[in-house]
Amino acid sequence: MRYKVVPAPADRALLTDVHEALPLVPGSVEDCCTRIRDRTTVPSRDEAREWLTFATALGLVAETERGYHRVRNPPEPDRLVENFRENVFGVEEVLGALDDAETPLDDSAAFESVRNLVPRWERNRYADWESEWTDKVRLRLAWSEAFGLVTRGDNGYERA
């Protein structure tokens, strides 16, 4: 399964804090989001839900029938990056576009690499879905930079 939710800001230290805030014993979404909000700098429950989903995609959190829980042995850094690439919708495609580009790509140009992948229901969900998804690509690029996959210069992003 590929997850679409990517939180802002792209902050690896905050990701560690989110992981540590979660219980070892499975808890409900509400309990986990409250813990994230109360034990980190994440300001709201909605944003905490984004962090919970993202941490799940990265393999830092597991979901069971009884709820979510922190994994005791988080993935090694290389595996964390691979989980990001494999489990977050659009990341592989954006990175592929950067690999193929002869010059750095800005957010809008990178968006073009996922434009045709955006499901119809996502397009219908937003009045200006292209702007919404350009923002989503921007977050993927920021996290790609945080994970050392890309660098950002004055003219846009390029592969590291």
Indicate whether 84 belongs to any domain.
no
Same domain, 145 and 99: yes
Rounded mean pLDDT, 122-136:
95
In a shared domain, residues 120 and 155: yes
Calculate ∠ Cα 102-5-23, nearest 5°.
130
142 located within any domain: yes
- Give the CATH number of the domain where residue 48 resides: 1.10.10.10
Residue 89 near residue 82, CB atoms below 8 Å = no
Strand-strand pairing, 61-64 and 67-70: antiparallel
Total of domains in the chain = 2
Q: What is the pLDDT of residues 40-82, one digit of tens each?
A: 999 999 999 999 999 999 999 999 999 999 999 999 999 999 9
Q: Do residues 24 and 60 share a domain?
A: yes
In a domain, 99, yes or no: yes
Asked if residue 3 is part of any domain, the answer here is no
Query: Is residue 49 in a domain?
Result: yes
Nearest Cα neighbor of 6 from 91, 126, 96, 80 is 91
pTM: 0.95
Residue 75 lies in a domain: no
Q: Are residues 46 and 101 in the same domain?
A: no
- What residues make up the domain containing 126? 89-159
pLDDT band per the 50, 70, 90 thresholds, residue 1:
confident
Whether residue 15 contacts residue 60, with contact meaning beta carbons closer than 8 Å, is answered with yes
Q: Is residue 126 part of a domain?
A: yes
Angle at 79 between CA 73 and CA 84, to 5 degrees: 110
Residues 64 and 99 in one domain: no
Q: Is 153 found in the same domain as 99?
A: yes
pLDDT tens, residue by residue, 100-109: 999 999 999 9
pLDDT at 126: 94
- 141 falls within a domain: yes
19, 54: one domain: yes
